[in-house]
Amino acid sequence: MTLPETKSREPKQARSRQSFEKTIEAALALLEERGNDEFTLADVSARSGVSIGSIYARFEGKDDLVSVAHGRKMDDIDAVSNYLFDSLPSRPEDGLQAIAREAMDKTIEVLRQYADILRPFMLRATNDETISRRGAASHAVLAENFARVLRSWPGGYLGQDEIDWCFNVSYSVIARRLGLGSTMEGSGKFEWPEISEKLAGMVASYLMDTTKDPSDVA
């Protein structure tokens, strides 16, 4: 997927670079604290200690700043997602439910770690195409990591469409529990280990019903 370009002008000098980074960090902090994007560049200036003039010298406005901050955070999430899933040991002797549980645990870990910043970005994505497209790319990274773990199961061929369905359903449950896409935390009586166990069981049951013998796959 081609990622959207921003209009910001990243400086090369060390001092200017420091102000640039402080501006992005301040925007991210305000997004997390407020749970939405209802802040001004004056708020960013006050938080970062960077003058309004300097901010406008590097960003075309608040939308551009938020897009750059979003891209940075999505890069962080992708890197953490890749690291966590790559660190999983290869245990082909494990059953499908155990493998699904590992994939589910890591998915939950990523989303819980970044829930506070994902909430305001998901709200903004509903009417910001740049945020929506970059968020979709990050979602695809997490989905592929999830799928890669499940495909390591040697017990039969798991269809990609079926794995994608499992990921999307699981993601929806986790996101609802975290209150992603809303300003209120989602309701739910189960603790995270139980949520992971139940989702892994659902995934394993569904995929077992759709599994094909490897010899039947061309």
The model's pLDDT over 66-77, given as tens digits with 9 standing for 90+, comes to: 999 999 999 999
Residue 132, CA distances (Å) to 45, 71, 87, 113, 128 in order? 26, 11, 29, 20, 6
Question: Three-state SS for 65?
Answer: helix
Q: What is the pLDDT of residue 189?
A: 74
3 falls within a domain: no
193 falls within a domain: yes
Q: Per mean pLDDT, which range of 37-51, 137-151, 166-180, 181-195 is the poorest?
A: 181-195
Provide the Cα torsion 182, 135, 30, 15; round to 10°. 180
123 falls within a domain: yes
172 falls within a domain: yes
41 falls within a domain: yes
Q: Give the bridge partners for 37, in sequence order.
A: none
pLDDT tops 90 at residue 216: no
Phi-psi label, residue 217: left if phi above 0, alpha if psi -120 to 50, beta otherwise: beta
Tokens of 143: 């989905």
112-156 pLDDT per residue, tens:
999 999 999 999 999 999 999 999 999 999 999 999 999 999 888
pLDDT tops 80 at residue 179: yes
Structural domain including 180 reads 14-211
The total number of structural domains that make up the chain: 1
pLDDT tops 50 at residue 162: yes
Q: What is the pLDDT of residue 90?
A: 77
With residues binned 3-state (H G I as helix, E B as strand, rest as coil), the percentages for the chain, rounded to 5, are 70, 0, 30
Mean of the per-residue pLDDT values for the chain? Answer: 89
Would you say 104 and 194 are in contact if contact means Cβ atoms under 8 Å apart? no
Which runs of consecutive H residues, i.e. helices, occur in 126-181?
129-151, 160-178
92 falls within a domain: yes
**What pTM value is reported for the model?**
0.87
* Angstrom distance (rounded) from CA 40 to CA 44: 7
176 falls within a domain: yes
9 falls within a domain: no
pLDDT tops 50 at residue 2: no
Q: Helix crossing, 115-125 with 96-113: angle to 10°?
A: 80
